[in-house]
Amino acid sequence: MMKIDVLQLKWILRTTIAFLALVTLQFWLGMSINLEVDLPARSGTFFSLLQYYADLSIFVLAHVVVGILLLATSLVYLFFALRVHLRAFLIISGVGIVAIASAIINGLLFLLYGQSFGNSIGMAMSAVSALIAYSAGLYYLGIYRAHGLPADRSLS
């Protein structure tokens, strides 16, 4: 039987829970912006537009900050996935990082090029892809907890 580092798996669990909480908050913020904030079209550089939209609504600023936190959380997950050397977590990490990067790119394009529906749905579907990937990680954590860990050490 393969020796699994329990402490690293605990950190994967904590990172997964943090990610799922952040992505849930991100959906709430995105829906609030979609329903409640009028984002007038503007032109300019990325940073001038970001400052304009952030000043326009605290929801937009929070949405950007949570997006950055999601990317950081995905990178932390990758770090621990590399440490445990388990293929499932490496695949989940790769899918998650690509999905979050895609959501961020769609968000930037949304602000820069006319707030198109395609970019809006691109943000949402990318986030859903990451949500599914990291949720699958919980399944694999359960498998390793049930079958791969010593009886006296648990993930809780």
pLDDT tens for each residue of 50-107: 777 777 778 888 998 999 999 999 999 999 999 888 888 999 999 999 999 999 999 8
For 2, the token pair is 């393969």
Q: Judge if pTM exceeds 0.75.
A: yes
Contacts 24+ apart (CB under 8 A), 65-70: 66/22, 66/25, 66/26, 66/29, 67/26, 67/100, 67/103, 67/104, 67/107, 69/22, 70/19, 70/22, 70/23, 70/26, 70/100, 70/103, 70/130
Kindly provide the b/e burial profile for residues 98-127, where b requires at least 16 CB atoms within 10 angstroms of the residue's own CB. Answer: ebbebbbebbbbbbbeeeeeebbebbbebb
Question: pLDDT confidence of 152, banded at 50, 70, 90?
Answer: very low
The mean-pLDDT minimum among 11-25, 85-99, 133-147 falls in: 133-147
The span from the CA of 64 to the CA of 58, in Å, is 10
User: Which of 21-25, 96-100, 144-148 is the least confident region?
Assistant: 144-148
